[in-house]
Structure 1
Amino acid sequence: MTARNELRLLPWSGPEGKPCYLSTDDPDGCMSRLADNIEAVQLGTAAELLERASEALDDQDTNPEDMRHLTKELTGALRDVLRVATSRGHLLAVSERPGG
């Protein structure tokens, strides 16, 4: 997934919440596949949370504590999805460069 000499933003954070990057020429390598799988799980989780949020907003009986919990989960999912989008956007930009 990464072009030669390019880093891939991984879908998890390192110590102190700092971003983690992968440098590899092998898009089918173990770490690339792991990152792809984790991204897929993160996107699936975000889709499920979006459905739950839509249902909760439509339900007049949803209590405030449940909404706070759901909001916290949605915030984490949005953070993950933003990281995936940033990583994939960077990879697209790299692949569109001449020689990329």
Structure 2
Amino acid sequence: MIAWSGTTDVADTYSFFAVLSLRYALPAHGSGNVEDAVSCGHAALTAMGMLDQNVAGAGFLPEEQRLQRISLSGATTGLWDTSVRVGQERFRAVLSRLHR
């Protein structure tokens, strides 16, 4: 039996949100299921809100909200490249919070 010890450190917390987002993104992409897409978006917004609370001067939540609005609008030109860029920024922000 595996005992749950809880999510306690930075890497565990943000890994949890990354996996949770993927858990909903993959089925949403394959099926177009709206509930999965909404759950994926919610997980991403929650993670970015938490990251904003823990990184001084960060503005990840408003950026995620903006990207989700663009995605819903259908005007997605350049969205992939922008998403890759902001994803790299977010990853660097999480890495900066890890204890070395």
Q: Same fold (TM over 0.5)?
A: no
Q: Name which one, 1 or 2, has greater alpha-carbon Rg.
A: 1
TM-score under structure 1 length normalisation: 0.36
Q: Which of the pair has the greater relative contact order for Cα pairs under 8 Å at 6+ separation?
A: 1
More strand by share: 1
